[in-house]
């Protein structure tokens, strides 16, 4: 059974930083692309960032480019999202997602429960 467990969310002031972690089990982590999504209150879930199995290919939403950094440690079955210069519009529940294949595609088949990020102005 695939499990993705996010951690690291919290309340931070605008301009601050947070680092999210997602620990994966029950899947061949090193052969899967991984991603981060978020959902703000009253809005649909949106793509934030994706990373290929090796970390050699990375994608970001325009809204977070230059502020967020995705990375992974295949030895620890963990993917990270470093979030800097946070803005109130970054507020939402952040979800870790497991891709269907090793490279980045729009298909994510495994999901965590989410971690809340709240950015105050």
Place of tokens 């994706």: 50
Look at strands 10-13 and 18-25 and give their pairing: unpaired
* Alpha-carbon span 96 to 75, nearest angstrom: 18
Instruction: Identify the CA nearest to 99 among candidates 4, 21, 1, 18.
Output: 4
From first to last of its 121 residues, the chain has per-residue pLDDT tens of 999 999 999 999 999 999 999 999 998 999 999 999 999 999 999 999 999 999 999 999 999 999 999 999 999 999 999 999 999 999 999 999 999 999 898 899 999 999 999 999 9
* Alpha-carbon span 70 to 104, nearest angstrom: 13
pLDDT at position 16: 98
Instruction: Identify the CA nearest to 15 among candidates 88, 91, 99, 69.
Output: 88
Averaged pLDDT score across all residues of the chain: 96
């Amino acid at each position: 059974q695939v499990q993705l467990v996010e951690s690291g969310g919290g309340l931070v002031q605008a301009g601050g930083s947070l680092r999210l972690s997602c620990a994966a089990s029950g899947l061949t982590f090193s052969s899967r692309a991984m991603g981060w999504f978020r959902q703000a209150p009253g809005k649909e879930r949106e793509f934030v960032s994706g990373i290929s199995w090796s970390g050699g290919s990375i994608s970001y939403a325009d809204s977070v480019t230059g502020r967020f950094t995705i990375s992974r440690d295949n030895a620890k079955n963990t993917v990270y999202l470093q979030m800097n210069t946070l803005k109130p519009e970054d507020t939402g529940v952040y979800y870790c997602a497991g891709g269907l294949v090793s490279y980045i595609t729009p298909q994510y088949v495994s999901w965590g429960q989410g971690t809340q990020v709240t950015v105050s102005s």
